[in-house]
Amino acid sequence: MDPITLIILIALGAFVAGFAFSPAFRNKVLTTLRIRSNAALDNATTAGERAEDAYKQQIAKAKQLQADIASVVGRSNLAKKDLTRLQSERDAAKADYALVSKTAGASEAAKNTALDKFTQADAKVKAQETRVQELGKSADDSRKALETVQASLQAMASKVDDIKGNEELTAVLKGTADALQTARDIKAGANAIGEAARQADEELEKARAAADLARGSQGEQELDEIRKANEREEARKKLEAELNGGGSK
């Protein structure tokens, strides 16, 4: 086994041992992993995407809350209907007791039976009235909670729009900054090209001046041109004389 492999195995063994037997070391590793993973996830999404995801989660909770509130309101309405039915039953029991009470010759047993039915019906009504009151209060509280949630969701939706708008504005501003920087870079490049062109013009003028100096002074150049012109004239006359003389033969 080569030394590098041995060192890697020793380090890996130490890490595993520390993770297994040292709570402090294990907590540090887990904390580091959590922080790094959260940072990686944050970098993988934009603030607007995270805000919109949180908003959608709250929307789902609000829908579930709305379903729960509908159930509470439904039970409250049903309890009211039951109360109406029980009140009718109590009224019937009361009427029966009144009928027995004023019926001549009615036995005490009949009177007691009618009284017991009324007492039981009245107890059911009172118990149901308590349930209706509590369910009604619960329904009212649930409606208020839903109104609060809806207001919060509206504010959250507005905030999500603000975040997205800010992100779009940020992107535009960054694009503008990049464009301005590019323009500055191009201008700097153009300036550099202009400087290079100026230097080239300067070198050209130097070369022209050197050529002029090599040709001599202005008078020497003019004299040289006169000589060349005279030589051309002599050559022309000579050639014409030869042509004319040849023509007379």
Given a cut of 60, whether residue 248 has pLDDT beyond it is no
The string over 14-36, giving b where at least 16 C-beta atoms fall within 10 Å of a residue's C-beta and e elsewhere, is eeeeeeeeeeeeeeeeeeeeeee
User: Which stretch, 124-138, 154-168, 180-194, has highest mean pLDDT?
Assistant: 124-138
* One domain for residues 81 and 112: yes
- Does residue 12 sit within a domain? no
- Does residue 140 sit within a domain? yes
pLDDT of residue 38: 64
Q: Cα–Cα distance between 214 and 221 in angstroms, integer?
A: 10
pLDDT of residue 25: 73
Instruction: Decide which of 162, 194, 228 is a domain's last residue.
Output: 162
- Does residue 26 sit within a domain? no
Domain count, the chain: 3
Q: 87: pLDDT confidence band, cut at 50, 70 and 90?
A: very high
Q: Which of 42-46, 105-109, 207-211 has the lowest mean pLDDT?
A: 42-46
- Does residue 19 sit within a domain? no
Count of Cβ atoms closer than 10 Å to residue 200 Cβ: 10
pLDDT of residue 249: 44
Domain that holds residue 81: 60-162
* One domain for residues 88 and 148: yes
* One domain for residues 153 and 70: yes
pLDDT, mean of residues 69-92: 91
- Does residue 93 sit within a domain? yes
User: Which stretch, 189-193, 221-225, 230-234, 241-245, has highest mean pLDDT?
Assistant: 230-234
Given a cut of 60, whether residue 7 has pLDDT beyond it is yes
* One domain for residues 103 and 185: no
Claim: this prediction has a pTM higher than 0.75: no
Q: 161: pLDDT confidence band, cut at 50, 70 and 90?
A: confident
Q: What mean pLDDT is reported for the chain?
A: 82
* One domain for residues 190 and 230: no
pLDDT of residue 94: 94
- Does residue 174 sit within a domain? no
- Does residue 50 sit within a domain? no
* One domain for residues 130 and 185: no
Given a cut of 90, whether residue 81 has pLDDT beyond it is yes
pLDDT of residue 119: 94
* One domain for residues 146 and 223: no
pLDDT, mean of residues 195-202: 83
Residue with the larger pLDDT of the pair 93 and 192: 93
Given a cut of 90, whether residue 70 has pLDDT beyond it is no
Is residue 58 a contact partner of residue 153, using CB atoms and an 8 Å limit? yes
- Does residue 108 sit within a domain? yes
